[in-house]
Amino acid sequence: MKKLIGLDKVKTAVFISGTGSNLKNLIKFSLKKNSPISINLVISNKKNAKGLKYVNQKKIEKKIINFIKTKESEKKILNLLIKKKIAFICLAGFMKILSNNFLKRFNGKVINIHPSLLPKYKGLNTHKRVLKNNEKFSGCTVHYVAARLDAGKIILQKKIKIAKTDKENTLKNKILREEHKLYPKAIKKIFN
Ligand code: GRF
């Protein structure tokens, strides 16, 4: 990825579907002087996504695109991204799969955070499956988005120990806390 020139920050869009704790955290990070990115657009496929409240607070432009027809939705998004000169995309709990075609247009510029130690536990219900298998460790991964689900090149990973007392929600919260540290770190790694 190209180095930052001067004080220009890389115009970034964040895609969400739900709670948006990573979005909240990325907004906070982007406002720091040493952040390589600015968040200029947030896209949600759900109009009631809780995370949208953070966008409203900071007056960031948002767009709801329902993704019922993927092709048309992606076309709308692409036009918007071009219009807003977005150069980088962070997926943060975005529950739709982007097409190969879309990813080609943003080749190597779309990243995602996943709550497992990829390549293990791709897909949904990660914590439930990890606990069922009596894993001793879990964690989170920031990776480039490739056409195959959760299979792109890994940028950074954080491993945590699972306590015997951990349940799905305690593990989820433990890992989310790590996600909030790891996502900014990975973005810095890409641009610095
Ligand atoms: C996170 O666990 C992330 O790793 C996964 O979806 C969850 C989103 O959480 N992709 P939030 O909406 O950022 O709170």
Please give the single-letter amino acid code of residue 43: I
Rg (CA), the chain: 16
180 is catalytic: no
Given this model, what pLDDT does residue 18 score? 97
d(CA 67, CA 98): 10
Indicate the pLDDT class of residue 11, thresholds 50, 70 and 90. Answer: very high
d(CA 135, CA 111): 26
In this structure, the number of other CB atoms found within 10 A of the CB of residue 103 comes to: 20
Q: Which atom of ligand 1 approaches the CA of 20 most closely?
A: 12
Q: Which residue of 43, 113, 129, 145 sits with most ligand 1 atoms within 8 Å of its CB, as the best mutation to test the pocket?
A: 113
Who contacts 98 (Cβ-Cβ below 8 Å, separation ≥6)?
Answer: 74, 110, 145
Q: What residue ranges line ligand 1, CB within 6 angstroms?
A: 18-22, 51, 92-93, 113-115, 140, 176, 179
Give yes or no for residue 4 having a pLDDT over 90: no
Indicate the pLDDT class of residue 143, thresholds 50, 70 and 90. Answer: very high
Nearest CA owner, ligand 1 atom 14: 21
The 10s digit of each residue's pLDDT in 64-96 is 999 999 999 999 999 999 999 999 999 999 999
Cα 185 versus chain centre, distance? 13
**Strand, coil or helix: 79:** helix
Q: Which atom of ligand 1 approaches the CA of 17 most closely?
A: 12
Evaluate whether 106 touches 170 at the Cβ level (below 8 Å). Answer: no
169 Cα to the center of ligand 1, angstroms: 13
pTM over 0.85? The answer is: yes
The 10s digit of each residue's pLDDT in 100-132 is 999 999 888 999 999 999 999 999 999 999 999
Q: Which atom of ligand 1 approaches the CA of 51 most closely?
A: 12
